[in-house]
Amino acid sequence: MPAPTTIRTPRLELARWREHEFTELRAVLDLCDAHLRPWIPFMRDEPRSLDDTRARVAQFIASFDEGQHFRYVVRDRGTGAFVGEVMLLTRGAPGTLEIGYWLHQDQCGRGYAKEATAALLPVAFEDLGAARVAVVCDEHNAPSIAVAHSLGVTFDELRELVEDGAPVRLMTFVLPREVWLERRA
- Residue number, 62 or 142, with CB nearest to ligand COA: 142
DSSP H helical ranges for 66-153: 112-118, 120-122, 142-150
E strands present in 68-139? 69-76, 82-90, 96-103, 132-138
Q: Of all residues in this chain, which one has the CB nearest to ligand COA in the complex?
A: 111
- Does residue 72 touch ligand COA according to CB under 6 A? no
Bridge partner residues of 85 (DSSP):
73, 102
- Residue number, 43 or 179, with CB nearest to ligand COA: 43
Q: Is 57 helix (H, G, I), strand (E, B) or coil?
A: helix
Binding letters toward ligand COA, positions 27-46, x by CB under 6 A = --------xx--xx------
Residue list 106-125, contact with ligand COA (CB under 6 A): 108-114
- Does residue 14 touch ligand COA according to CB under 6 A? no
DSSP H helical ranges for 45-174: 50-65, 112-118, 120-122, 142-150
Residues that bind ligand COA (CB under 6 A): 35-36, 39-40, 101-103, 108-114, 137, 141, 143-144, 146-147
